[in-house]
Structure 1
Amino acid sequence: MSTAGDFVPPMFIFKRERMNVALEKIGPVDAIYRCSKSGWITEDLFLEWLKHFAQYVNVSTVDPVLVILDNHTTHSSLKSYKFCRQNGIVLVSLPPHTSHRLQPLVVTFFSSLKTAYSKECDLHMKTHYSKIEVTDIAELFAKAYNRITSKEKGLNGFKNTGIFPLDRNLFGEENLLKCQ
């Protein structure tokens, strides 16, 4: 999400060897779908997400953007660095153990999304009298995502972390000591 409250469509990563288009069924508009053996992001998948991001926000070296990330190792490959440098993307990695206070998505979005997705799953199981199949995930996620994604959440994510507008006094020294 951005300081203007806009959201880049998500990337789904399924734990499997090969992609199947049925996994994309009724998912969020413009989302991208990939697979990895572990189900986790890899350096190559992060590069794919960066390309998706760059295209979606129309970034350039003339009009660069700042991307705030946790410090996961997949975010620091040479290929990603080169891509970002060539395309006007500046990556800032948060210090360890601070994302619960400093990462806008963590502060205002993920908890609401998790709750909304859980409700969609419960409703699906009650109305279909069956378990959730992997091909149901994108549709259920889209319902939750579309319901809770808002400009207000985007704006508040940056405000509540003191990133934008900048608030150097949001956290006292005692708060920062708890992050260690």
Structure 2
Amino acid sequence: MNSNNQEARILLAIEVIHKDKKLSIRKAAMLYNIPRTTLRHRMEGLPLRTETRANRHKITELEEEVIVQYILDMDLRGFPPKLKNVEDMANDILESRVANMRAKYGILDGDFYNFDETGFMMGIICAAMVVTSAERNGRSKTVQPGNREWATAIICGNGEGETIPPFLVVQGQVHLSNWYTETNLPAEWAIKPTSNGWTNNETGLEWLKHFDKHTKNRRKGKYRMLVLDGHESHESVAFQAYCKENDIICLRLPPHSSHLTQPLDVGCFSNLKRSYGGQIDGFIKAHINHISKIEFFIAFKAAYEESITSQNMKSGFRGTGLIPFNPEAVLSKLDIRIRTPTPPLST
């Protein structure tokens, strides 16, 4: 059975059951020629196996059902929609999602946050940075210190350009006192050692509590909204439960779209990486050839203060069409090509 037709039958069966309370699931399944267990699961609200597709698709399954119903309805009336019509409807759904969520919870600009992660490989500098001897002939090469530890910076700001202290994840087992005594990092900055310098479910929850601590007393309304990507640490049961208990609404952006839809990616991260590269270049020119965590913290602090500004944060929200709300800011950048059928060869 065609999956679209079956989905349409399921939707019709559910609608009829809601209207006629005497109609059993078994009888409705027989009437609409669909598996009884499938219909029962849908009535009970159990997720479909196809819901795992959410990590790969821009629209949710419910939104996809709306489009399927639209296609079937137009076809039934003798007006099968063209691909462009379906694409326009999908874009309309994407456009309305952010606005609907903000309106539903009364989210103000100052309570509308984006947080994102960006990684740093200690010892790596921007490809354009070169260090060479005056006596050396030939083409210069980038100097790259031998340390190859990984660090992750979790950064967060809101639509009014305000930020919360960064949360740094570094490779290690314990905190070392010289991370704080030799770097002049602000006391409210957080450092989390992990086995590989990457985030995980535990780190994600720790960051969420860090976010709550620094935003709950300055919120303008009841709810705060977090715009985030689909990283698994943001979807853990503990993460979602903490959000619900503390009036934090999560809005997940379409996967593989951060370069278009994440304010931090659009307005801040390229500046941050460029500034960090300049700081490391300065160390190398000063003949510091081992970039340890101390040098990383010092370089990151300087780069952060230079690049994560109120102006850049606001620019990110504006560039992604979130504040002010302007979906065309993103949709106009999409490379969408409508394929037309190849005309048949003349004989």
The normalised TM-score by structure 1 is 0.90
- Name the counterpart of 2:57: none
Check whether the contact 2:261–2:330 (CA below 8 A) recurs between aligned residues.
no
1:153 to 1:29, Cα distance in 2 relative to 1, 3 A: farther
Q: 1:129 to 1:135 in 2, by over 3 A?
A: closer
Match of 2:170 in 1: 14
1:132 Cα shift? 1.6
Query: Aligned to 2:203, what secondary structure does the other structure show?
Result: helix
The 5 Å alignment of 1:23-42 reads 23-24=179-180, 25-28=183-186, 30-42=188-200
Which stretch of the first structure deviates more once superposed, 25-34 or 134-143?
25-34
- Residue 50, structure 1, aligned to residue 242, structure 2: no
Q: Residue 151 of structure 1 corresponds to which residue in structure 2?
A: 310
Query: Which amino acid in the other structure matches residue 77 of structure 1?
Result: S
Q: TM-score, normalised by structure 2?
A: 0.48
- Call closer, same or farther: CA 1:91–1:15 in 2, change over 3 Å: same
Mapped partners of 2:192, 2:309: distance in 1 = 25
**Structure 1 unpaired stretches of 5+:** none
Shift of 1:173: 7.0
Which one of 230, 233, 237 corresponds to residue 74 of structure 1?
233
Please, which runs of 5 or more residues in structure 2 have no aligned partner? 1-156, 338-347
Match of 2:331 in 1: 172
Structure 2 CA distance for aligned equivalents of residues 71 and 131 of structure 1:
35
Counterpart residue number, 1:117? 276
CA contact (8 A) 1:15 1:37 kept: yes
Greater relative contact order (CA < 8 Å, ≥ 6 in sequence)? 1
Structure 1 runs (4+) deviating above 6 angstroms are: none
- The answer for the alignment partner of 2:300 in structure 1 is 141
Number of equivalences: 178
Give the counterpart letter for 1:101 in structure 2: L
Aligned residue type for 2:325 = L
1:58 Cα deviation from its structure 2 partner: 1.7
Give me the whole-angstrom Cα distance separating, in 2, the residues matched to 1:141 and 1:174. Answer: 31
- 1:39 is paired with a residue whose SS is coil
Are residue 3 (structure 1) and residue 146 (structure 2) matched? no
Aligned mates of 1:154, 1:174 — CA distance in 2:
20
Paired with 1:28 and 1:145, the residues of 2 have a C-alpha distance of 12
Q: Describe the superposition over 1:37-76 as per-residue Cα deviations: whole angstroms up to 9, x where unpaired.
A: 121101111111111111111267x621111111111111
1:127 corresponds to which of 251, 264, 286: 286
Q: What is the one-letter code of the residue matched to 1:107?
A: V
**CA 1:71–1:177 in 2, change beyond 3 Å: closer, same or farther?**
farther
C-alpha distance in structure 1 between counterparts of 2:174 and 2:166, whole Å = 19
Inter-partner Cα distance in structure 2 for 1:177 and 1:50: 36
State, as a whole percentage, how many aligned pairs show the same letter: 27
In structure 2, do the counterparts of structure 1 residues 83 and 122 end up closer, same or farther at CA, with 3 Å as the change threshold? same
Q: SS in structure 2 opposite 1:96?
A: coil
Which stretch shows the higher mean deviation, 165-174 or 139-148? 165-174
Question: What is the CA distance between 1:97 and its match in structure 2?
Answer: 1.1
Q: CA deviation at 1:22?
A: 2.1
Distance 2:257 2:225 in 1: 18
